[in-house]
Amino acid sequence: MKKLIFILTLCISSLVSANESSSSTAAKEWLKIVDAGNYTESWQKSDSFFKSQLSQTKWDTALKGVRTPLGKVESLYWSTQTGHF
Confirm if 36 and 28 have CB atoms less than 8 A apart: no
Domain chopping of the chain, boundaries: 28-64
Reported pTM? 0.65
Q: Provide the percentage of residues in the chain whose pLDDT is more than 90.
A: 40
Query: What are the tens digits of pLDDT across the range 36-56?
Result: 999 999 999 999 999 999 999
